[in-house]
Structure 1
Amino acid sequence: MADINKVLNLELIDRNIYQGPIIPSKLTRTFGGQVAAQALVAATRTVGPEYRVHSLHGYFVAPGNPEKPTTYLVDRVRDGRSFCSRQVKAVQDGEATFIMQASFHQRGQNGPVHSDVMRRVPMPEDISQDSSRVRPAYRMLVDDEWSDWDIRVVPKEDYDENPYTASQQVVWFRSKTKLPDDETMHICTLAYMSDMTLLQAALVPHPDAKVMVASLDHSMWFLRPFRADEWLLYDQISPSASDGRGLTHGRIFDREGRLVAVVTQEGLTRTLEPGQQAIPKREGES
């Protein structure tokens, strides 16, 4: 079980160098959302308080070891009047595991305003927290690794499906723990949360497929303020799956229907070889 306050509590090693704590896990590789969130924390600490992250783009280039700390090296690419750019490299044993670029923008700019509308779904209080609605390989994560999070998959019969998309899934989620009144904390927490269920959307049409899953890349756009300890609706689709990879896309709304973030991710969805696990776990873990 990962305490998000501990996950995001990076240690300053030197200028532009941070280290993330070791987070106990039953997985053999570090959870991708953890690495992305910590990289974003590192980047955020190198910009002024007048800037807020509006996008990030990351690549998972090697599996991390959850039994070792991760070091984050921040490159201050550019500091402009309205925008700041940062590149972050996550390193273990001298090798990169994750590379991210993030862009920060000063708030208060004027321009046109519009937004997608949240689909009509039952409110989270009307849906039980039932891990049986997720694929068996993910149930250990939902019940144990992610037990600090309230994750409620909306039953397919409770919303109108989009007939023009190949695969879709809708999830309510939030942090069970009350978080500080710090906007950056909520943004970095959502970066962690956004990797939880998204790749499952690529497998909805293939319930019996035996595949290995892993995040390959991850992009996010932060659009409006929100709280990660209040209910958010993660409306997910998968436009395509082929060649052992699944492309997924998610729009995140608050319960008032405001679009607060957008996520796009490609992940590994490769047919399992004999003896392989869908999500590699330590021996003896179910």
Structure 2
Amino acid sequence: MNEALTTLLDLLDLERIEENIFRGTSRSALVPRVFGGQVAAQALVAAGRTVPEDRTAHSLHSYFLRAGDPGAPIVYSVDRIRDGRSFTTRRVVAVQHGQPIFHLSASFQTYEEGLDHQAVMPSAPDPETLATAEESLPAYRETFRDPGTVERLIDARAAVDLRYATTPPWGSVGEPVEPRSQVWFRTAGKLEGADPLLHTCLATYVSDMTLLDSVLLAHGRGGWAVGDVVGASLDHAMWFHRPFRADEWLLYDQESPSAAAGRGLGQARIWTQDGRLAVTVIQEGVVRVPRA
């Protein structure tokens, strides 16, 4: 386990400051706002800490309301909406400087047997054959608006071993391609224990890193790192279907069915390496072309 992963795990270990109230901190961000995946993961941690241990998250629905300040703590207030015989519902509001910046609703369920089927996992290259961020990003140094972006991207993703199975947006600038992107990811080190909430929260953290790549690919745009698009996450939803571990390879298969009115939609599935459908993700974000 490297230092970056240790730091990430510390970020997810929220401080309880009162019944149903938790406090989290942030790490330095690539852009001057809190990374959306971090606040979503922390909010899910807060919700999960008020739920019986025999219930695991099966879905979350969230809205990003304001840009978070990475230099200030975030307070998470949990509302215990309902505790049923099988399902538990929680609502979480993240607050900074007296204003809500993020809202999450999450549902948890006790395990039960039921109908079981899934789609077929798409083909993808073996993750061990793909280049790491340290190996692949330097080739795009001249493409980025700021050459120092290479080191910042590597640092920002150091807690996660994320490898592109398809060309990243900054690799096809000016050349629109199929709106689909694939990455493999796992934490940069093994995790002790099998707490399903931790693995779910780590997948939530990573899920906001690349989901809108497919929107950019459809238009030959490289994104914020290139400077040809201004964007931010608007809302984010996830459904957790089957158990998985975030420290084992997961395939994030992403596509964009639509972009319109200054917004882009991404939808994705996360698969375990042995072909089990673990998670479904949908996100919409602001995707604007900067004015000349």
State the match for 1:249 in structure 2.
267
Residue 198 (structure 2) pairs with residue 203 (structure 1)? no
Range that drifts further, 201-210 or 72-81 = 201-210
Mapped partners of 1:128, 1:27: distance in 2 = 25
Alignment correspondent of 2:282: 264
| Other structure's SS at 1:198 match | coil
Q: 1:140, CA displacement in angstroms?
A: 5.4
Q: Structure 2 CA distance, aligned partners of 1:33 and 1:140? A: 20
Gaps of 5+ in 2: 168-176, 223-227
Structure 2 residue 218 is the aligned partner of structure 1 residue 218: no
Q: Between the two proteins, what is the percent identity of the paired residues?
A: 46
RMSD over aligned Cα atoms: 2.0
Q: TM-score, normalised by structure 2?
A: 0.86
State the one-letter code of the partner of 2:40.
A
Partners of 1:205 and 1:189 lie apart in 2 by 28
Query: Which residue pairs with 1:282 in the alignment?
Result: none
- Aligned equivalent of 1:240: 258
Task: Tell me whether 80-89 or 2-11 shows the greater mean CA deviation.
Answer: 2-11
- 1:155 Cα offset (Å): 3.0
Structure 1: gaps of 5 or more residues: 157-164, 275-286
- Compute the displacement of 1:27 (Å): 2.4
Match of 1:16 in 2: 20
Partner of 2:180 in structure 1? Answer: 168
TM-score (norm 1): 0.87
Distance 1:272 1:116, change over 3 A: same
1:87-143 residue CA offsets vs partner (Å, 9 max, x unmatched): 000000110000000000011x22211011111111101111223589847755531
The one-letter code sitting in structure 2 at the alignment partner of 1:180 is E
1:17-56 alignment, distance < 5 Å: 17-56=21-60
* Counterparts of 2:89 and 2:21, CA distance in 1: 16
CA contact (8 A) 2:234 2:283 kept: yes
Alpha-carbon contact 1:179-1:186 (below 8 Å) kept: no
Q: Distance in 1 between matches of 2:125 and 2:279?
A: 20
**In 2: Cα distance, 1:76 partner to 1:192 partner:** 23
The one of 196, 218, 221 equivalent to 1:183 is 196
Contact kept? 1:133, 1:153, Cα under 8 Å = no
Quote the residue 1:278 is aligned against.
none
1:144-181: per-residue Cα shift (whole Å, max 9, x none)? 2112211111136xxxxxxxx96101111111122222
Q: 1:79 aligns with which of 73, 76, 83?
A: 83
Asked if the contact 1:16–1:46 (Cα under 8 Å) also holds between the matched residues in 2, the reply is yes
Partner of 1:143: 154
Alignment of 1:81-120 (within 5 A): 81-107=85-111, 109-120=112-123
Q: Which amino acid aligns with 1:242?
A: A
Distance 1:77 1:40 in 2: 15
- Distance across 2 between alignment mates of 1:141 and 1:49: 37
Name 2:248's counterpart in structure 1: 230
